[in-house]
Amino acid sequence: MSEQNSSELARAIQDVTERAELLVREEVALAKAEMTDKVTQLLKGAVFGIVAGVFAVFSLIYLLHSLSWGIWDVIDDGDNFWLGYLITGVLILVVGLLAGLLGMRFIKKGSPPTPKLAIEEAQLIKGTLTGDPAATPKGAVGARQAPGEVAH
């Protein structure tokens, strides 16, 4: 009987080890997926920031001079042509500011690039394996819920 018990115990230990390895691999995969998502958000923010800079430069090169003279022509305020340049400069600054704010929104949404779901899941597994309820994240019941599912 003791050989059978030790054989069953060895098999159980092997099963636990294999499942723990599988959990670790899945956690690494989850962390990679989260990091990919965060990096994508950061890249989107950087792209919008670059686009904002390009538009600001092209606006200054191609539109500033002609728009300024056009505004001065509409105002027709004698020799005060600088008013057209002032109004044009303010308009271009506003457009650049809006694009820059949009870029910052994407950057803030994607940073800091930490795999929050993977960390939470790892804490949940650690708490389950050790039996330590303090190791589980707040709000974790012990099983993952499907998106949109309400805990009872």
Residue 131: pLDDT band with limits 50, 70, 90: confident
CB 137 within 8 A of CB 120: yes
Q: Is the pTM of this model over 0.95?
A: no
Over 50: is that where the pLDDT of 143 sits?
Answer: no
What integer best gives the mean pLDDT of the chain? 81
**For residue 100, what pLDDT is reported?**
93
Structural tokens at position 38: 């965060």
4-16 average pLDDT score = 86
d(CA 118, CA 134): 18
Query: What letter does residue 118 receive in the DSSP assignment?
Result: H
CB 118 within 8 A of CB 30: yes
d(CA 125, CA 128): 5
Query: What letter does residue 131 receive in the DSSP assignment?
Result: T
**For residue 139, what pLDDT is reported?**
54
CB 56 within 8 A of CB 96: yes
Alpha helices in 59-141, H assignment, sequence order:
64-75, 82-110, 116-130
Amino acid at 60: L
Give the largest Cα separation in the chain, rounded: 110
Over 60: is that where the pLDDT of 1 sits?
Answer: no
The DSSP line for 36-47 is HHHHHHHHHHHH
**For residue 101, what pLDDT is reported?**
94
Q: Report percent pLDDT > 90 for the chain.
A: 12
Structural tokens at position 104: 């910052």
- Enumerate the domain spans of the chain: 16-134
Over 50: is that where the pLDDT of 152 sits?
Answer: no
| pLDDT (tens digit per residue) in 25-53 | 988 888 888 889 889 999 999 999 999 99
SS3 57: helix
**For residue 148, what pLDDT is reported?**
52
**151 φ/ψ sector (left φ>0, alpha ψ -120 to 50, else beta):** beta
Over 90: is that where the pLDDT of 87 sits?
Answer: no
